Chain A
């Protein structure tokens, strides 16, 4: 077997000044790409999510909630009180030997700590400094505060989703934090490539709001030209019909079906035509016909799906070459082959055998990083100072004494 190749960001040092989700998640993506992450956190100011969800409540390993334990894996932690001169001084020394800094505070917070880009770039001009506030550090809304749901609403996503007459429709996870974190990781990698050519780092003033808006850039383009809001299509498509979610037997059970061409339609008719004779009507034979009579087809299909388990709908249709998929939930997603492929084993996070989500892509010849449980706050302070700053133990002891004072 050939020697394993390094992951692409091997050797890149990242300081994670992030809190809650978007910033630490961005750093996790960089860790999965091979970078080394040190989380700078302050015991007096813990990043917490509200208590709505079980995964957001306490009682996890490493003193973090289950969600934050997942988000903050694969990094070391140093506890620095950034409100003290000594804490800030150590932070600046770490910055001087780092390649990347990630922070998602409100605009102005890092500047007030003396840790803004302008300050830090003086001594480390190669630093790639990524800020990821809700709206960006400039513009009329730079001081606005925004949670994930606010950004889902503001970025157009909730109106782009659903059917005419629906209220705004959101998604019940931290969607916008993830989208902001992913975009920022892409920008950081781009800036590292640019640095290799120019020798200089830069400040990436990411706006999580803009990341959300960019996801529907095509709809913005269309609206800018037409001066009308885009149609709300629900789950339908203009290039596949019928397409939708069909109610199945049981409580809140659904199967997604998408017929992408006439051949697949014939497959569907072959699969179900015996039980649903109306599907044989010639006016349904073409995409144009199926788009026109979509409601009628849906009604006919649902008379059949309502009496079946979703797995049976999926089985019957996929057998005939039609795309169909059971709506999965937390308790059965791991039955999906691709879900199993993104899950990675981890030790020290919850019950033995717990798995975490890794990268949804793979580099040929390079093994994925081993998933390592999130650190306790400050768990690696001394180790980081030794490794990154080459300090000896007496100096470290003195620093900690002063920093704590």
Chain B
């Protein structure tokens, strides 16, 4: 697999993370004071300052760290030597050095240039996605946890992985331009398709979105559960067995998905009355037995103990040098590719090894 130099900002850093999950060698090139990811909140005790950012710990996992001041003559020379021995450079613009120097150092470089765009919230607003996120009569809201940045990252990974495969095939590298704003626009394609097909605008549906007539996150005794009632008559029959409200049983018109759609909120409110005294895991287990798509609404904290994630190795119980015994999120692709994902590196942890590989150190 390839060696990739990583100068992506927080906008594209999930992309280089999953490139590492694929089995590529990713070298995070950081300034001597450490990169911006190490400064993103939230910070976690009891790790030292530069290791305490949760974003650094997740997004830099699987990568090596090379700390160097590209602004100095020596750092500049070493960086170009590293470029010469790498297959790809993934970098947010503007670059800390002249592009022509990069290509001169390595004419076969895959060079992925990321235009970070106008910032997460503004890019989200311009994409059309903000208009469909939030409560129907409330304020639109950004997807949380920097999910829009992660989405940009997946496209960065795709562009880079494809160009590297092309290089394996043809022997030559190439320049690839990724625009964060275009990535979020592309993810808004249903907004575009809907308007063009029907002249209708997709709306915010908050907790009651979904493609079937009856779908929504409903309150239960210990939080919320999400149901999507299958549109077929059999699906409705199964659902009425799960939620044996006499009104559902007696009103045969409800067997029609189109009629259910008109009475969506009324029906969902009745389902909520049924579920509010029950436990979410019991409800969804019972629903799944009846082939009804249902799931608990989980928080990131709930997910750290999730049996499915633990069973498949997405979460691995580890002894972390700074944080002790934790369930470490390995990622969605690493296990598929048989890639081990080491913890995020300390600043400059791999300097000596990399300089040795470059022949700069004995």
Interface, chain A (partner B; CB < 8 A): 5-9, 11, 29, 33, 49-57, 60, 66-67, 70, 135-136, 138-141, 143-163, 166-175, 178-179, 182-183, 185-187, 189-194, 196-197, 202, 204-207, 209-211, 213-235, 237-240, 243-245, 247, 254-256, 258, 260, 323-331, 333-334, 336, 338-339, 341-343, 350, 354-355, 357-366
Contacts and interface: CB of A to CB of B under 8 A. Distances in A.
Contact of A187 (B189, B314, B333): B333
B337 A55 contact: no
Nearest to B53: A218
B307 A140 contact: yes
Interface stretch (B174-182, B239-247, B352-360): B174-182
A213 B314 CA distance: 9
B336 interface: yes
Interface string B215-232: 111010000111110010
Given A55-B194, A156-B298, A156-B303, A179 B151 contact: yes
Given A205-B336, A230-B42, A338-B179, A223 B304 contact: yes
Nearest to A131: B336
Given A52-B261, A357-B186, A325 B41 contact: no
A150 B226 contact: yes
Interface string B300-326: 111110011101101100000001001
A149 B210 contact: yes
Interface stretch (B25-33, B77-85, B136-144): B136-144
Contacts of A213: 303, 309, 314, 329, 332
Contacts of B197: 54-55, 60, 66-67, 350
A45 B205 CA distance: 30
A135 to B, nearest CB: 6
B194 A230 contact: no
B255 to A, nearest CB: 15
Interface string B245-269: 0000000000001100100000000
Given A147-B215, A245-B139, 4 more contacts: A139-B311, A183-B332, A223-B299, A223-B304
B217 A197 contact: no
Contacts of B128: 328-330, 333, 339
Interface residues of B, number: 142
B15 to A, nearest CB: 9
Contact of B300 (A50, A56, A160): A160
B200 A160 contact: no
Given A193-B168, A207-B312, A174 B211 contact: yes
Task: Give the interface centre of A168, A178, A221, A245 by most chain B CB atoms within 10 Å.
Answer: A221
Contacts of B224: 153, 167-168
Contacts of A327: 125, 130-131, 140
5 contacts: A171-B209, A189-B161, A218-B58, A221-B328, A256-B124
A359 B55 CA distance: 27
Given A50-B257, A169-B134, A220 B329 contact: yes
B276 interface: no
Interface of B: 1-2, 14, 18, 22-24, 40-42, 44, 54-55, 57-59, 117-135, 139-147, 150-151, 154-155, 157-159, 161-166, 168-170, 174-179, 181-183, 185-207, 209-213, 215-217, 219, 224-228, 231, 257-258, 261, 288, 291-304, 307-309, 311-312, 314-315, 323, 326-329, 331-333, 336-337
Nearest to A33: B162
Main secondary structure of the interface of B (DSSP, over half): mixed
A97 B229 CA distance: 40
A258 B18 contact: no
Nearest to A175: B187
Contacts of A237: 120-121
Contacts of B217: 153, 158, 167-168, 170
Contact of A140 (B166, B182, B207, B311): B311
A51 B125 contact: no
Nearest to A196: B168
A158 B210 CA distance: 13
Contacts of A159: 297-300
Contacts of A57: 198
The 10 closest A-B pairs by CB, nearest first: A54-B198, A330-B195, A8-B166, A190-B22, A153-B226, A360-B182, A66-B197, A160-B144, A222-B54, A325-B122
A128 to B, nearest CB: 11
Contact of A217 (B129, B140, B298, B329): B329
Contacts of A141: 307-308
Task: Give the interface centre of B23, B193, B206 by most chain A CB atoms within 10 Å.
Answer: B193
